[in-house]
Structure 1
């Protein structure tokens, strides 16, 4: 038995409230269950109850056992002086107020339906499962699942917007700098995302503005700050980048001491950091005032056009500085642009609107639903239980669901878990 479940039972009246009584036999009439308190103090504030013939207004505290009151040291905390009802699963000891009167107790185990208990025990059984509800996930109404995933998507956007606000603060309210840092992180993908972000944060964005007219100088900046120009390599282009970076380092007092190491291991050649950094440099070489452009674009195809670019000429015949490869145009794919849209551009649009007190929720829903569902282990496993994800909105919602609800056993705060408990 979890205390969270008892909170759920009380909050949503998952018992026959017309029949509940205190342990001393007084009838309890619930006018209001109160406001659920998720911080310190009693679990529900400002409840209104009629106990016997007396109308009470005050707080409700919930425990598995009455004696948990002392386990949690509530007898020493003045915040609990106004508790009018102690809701417990099992009553094992009386709790007294300062005036020596006993706090009325509702012992829930006498009023809980067998069906509700069975649903709860099934959901939280200790057997090894990928998610608690995997046996019954298929039975949940599609409309309920899709509504919940849309809500989870915006919950995920809210989490991302907190990170963006911190980046904005660190960047002295320069949205162009925030875009550069976020694009850098996402050009690095999962393997090099943090390293690329640390690179982007290692110098002021004004350096990009001052160098972006020259693609080679901009590449020198990104490669040098990433620590990729520190080997003794005999190559003409490499030597020019090293010389350019040495000049930039002196001019702008650059340092890459705090930049995380770049990884090549287990990456397909098109995702090598050398290729992605060249593409990023090429994007900024071709686009000034990128943030304002991105905020103005309204169609998916326009974004595909914006990022329809490749590398500098050197990288058309290389994946690394050391070795020549078969010549090929290494252009950014639509699937890669989709990742940029999901992880950078749409969160930025959402955060920018929120920062200025505007709502673009409907626009964002329309936009994200046009992007194909992501393909990853989480989405595939949910789809194996029940075909759920048809767009990036659903796939992002499923990622949020798995990480912040399923993995944390927060079924009682999940619409799917609630639906199964109410079967």
Structure 2
């Protein structure tokens, strides 16, 4: 038994309530179980009970052992000065409150159904996704939608916290924040830290001054990513080196120490190609985030990011290595990834910041228009008949798996609740 499960049992009154008595033998009636408090302080607030003929209003504390009250040092804590009932699994010691009064105790050890305990044990002993098995519950469509909406909101709110931290770092410059996150996204995991560092060394106002010259934008990005070092055999990279040397000195840019990574990557994701595409995106657009937040149609977002790196890269993935002709255009899957991991989180955070629900609603709506992510995690849910058609679905399932299933938070999960509460 643990405290979290006891809280669940009390919250849903999943115990035998016949002839309830506190430990001194007086009859107990539960009028209001109280409001579950997930913050500091008593577990349930504003509760109401009746002991004998006396009705009490106050707070309820839950512990596995009554002695946990002493272990947690509640006696001297004023937040626990109005405890009307101590609900425990086992009563191993009598407890007094800060006023010297003995706290009434309800023991649940012999009142909880063994079926619930066995189900909970099975969940805790199961694998990475505890409810996966023959007894997997089939939530109805409405319940799934409601649960996914909550999961997605939690995920976006957590991502928004990171965005708002960057906002402070940028002195409340939303275009700068969007530029940092966009560049990091272009880094494709292994080069994320490098690309973000590069973006933070080149302010958006510097980029704006060179929008009409793609080679200058490439020089800035590739140079700051340490990709213009060494001897070059071709004219174009030599020209980029000269441009970078001039711009580095002109703007007194702070250089980065992170080295680019090419190992075990598809050529299309090489940092050279990704930065060339990013440079073209910068050239073909201005005030990117301002444009995006005013867009209504997702198709317009796709059009904005449909760019192709300049001609040199049609025949290259790396400098000095000529390849067969292949335009280096941003693919749909890449744009979808940008929408999911950059555009939507920043737009949602902006809505939170300005307290305007329409931006948050638009961010979520765009996720319903993006193809779902497919990986081992989402495939495992699909194996149990769970719908995964859009990014709304996949982002919800990722949140569910990583922050509920892997953390064994079955008591907080709609699916876990259904399993445990099924008779």
Shorter chain as denominator, the TM-score bin is over 0.9
Instruction: Describe the shift of the 1:337–1:19 C-alpha distance in structure 2 as closer, same or farther (beyond 3 A).
Output: farther
- Determine if contact 1:144/1:416 at 8 Å carries over to the other structure: no
2:274 aligned with 1:276: yes
In 2, Cα distance between equivalents of 1:44 and 1:116: 22
For 1:337, the equivalent position in structure 2 comes to: 335
Provide the secondary structure at the position in 1 that maps to 2:316.
coil
Offset from partner CA, 1:278-312 (integer Å, 9 cap, x none) = 00100010112222221222223222221221111
Instruction: Describe the shift of the 1:320–1:152 C-alpha distance in structure 2 as closer, same or farther (beyond 3 A).
Output: same
Offset from partner CA, 1:214-246 (integer Å, 9 cap, x none) = 111111111111111222333221111111111
Alignment of 1:270-349 (within 5 A): 270-349=268-347
For 1:50, the equivalent position in structure 2 comes to: 50
- Determine if contact 1:31/1:49 at 8 Å carries over to the other structure: yes
- Determine if contact 1:18/1:29 at 8 Å carries over to the other structure: no
In 1, Cα distance between equivalents of 2:270 and 2:305: 18
- Determine if contact 1:156/1:400 at 8 Å carries over to the other structure: yes
| Counterpart selection for 2:258 from 246, 257, 260 | 260
Report the alpha carbon displacement of residue 143 of structure 1 after superposing the two structures with TM. 3.1
Report the alpha carbon displacement of residue 121 of structure 1 after superposing the two structures with TM. 2.1
Structure 2: any 5+ residue segments left out of the alignment? none
For 1:249, the equivalent position in structure 2 comes to: 248
TM-score of the aligned structures, taking structure 2 as reference length: 0.94
Provide the secondary structure at the position in 1 that maps to 2:321.
coil
Provide the secondary structure at the position in 1 that maps to 2:327.
coil
In 1, Cα distance between equivalents of 2:258 and 2:50: 62
In 2, Cα distance between equivalents of 1:99 and 1:327: 83
Report the alpha carbon displacement of residue 63 of structure 1 after superposing the two structures with TM. 0.9
Report the alpha carbon displacement of residue 144 of structure 1 after superposing the two structures with TM. 1.9
For 1:41, the equivalent position in structure 2 comes to: 41
In 2, Cα distance between equivalents of 1:301 and 1:232: 43
Provide the secondary structure at the position in 2 that maps to 1:49.
strand
For 2:31, the equivalent position in structure 1 comes to: 31
Instruction: Describe the shift of the 1:215–1:76 C-alpha distance in structure 2 as closer, same or farther (beyond 3 A).
Output: same
Provide the secondary structure at the position in 2 that maps to 1:106.
strand
TM-score of the aligned structures, taking structure 1 as reference length: 0.94
- Determine if contact 1:373/1:394 at 8 Å carries over to the other structure: yes
Alignment RMSD, CA only?
1.9
- Determine if contact 1:34/1:45 at 8 Å carries over to the other structure: yes
In 1, Cα distance between equivalents of 2:386 and 2:8: 29
Report the alpha carbon displacement of residue 408 of structure 1 after superposing the two structures with TM. 1.1
Report the alpha carbon displacement of residue 195 of structure 1 after superposing the two structures with TM. 2.1
Provide the secondary structure at the position in 2 that maps to 1:110.
coil
- Determine if contact 2:76/2:98 at 8 Å carries over to the other structure: no
Alignment of 1:168-247 (within 5 A): 168-247=167-246
Structure 1: any 5+ residue segments left out of the alignment? none
In 2, Cα distance between equivalents of 1:138 and 1:224: 55
Provide the secondary structure at the position in 2 that maps to 1:328.
coil
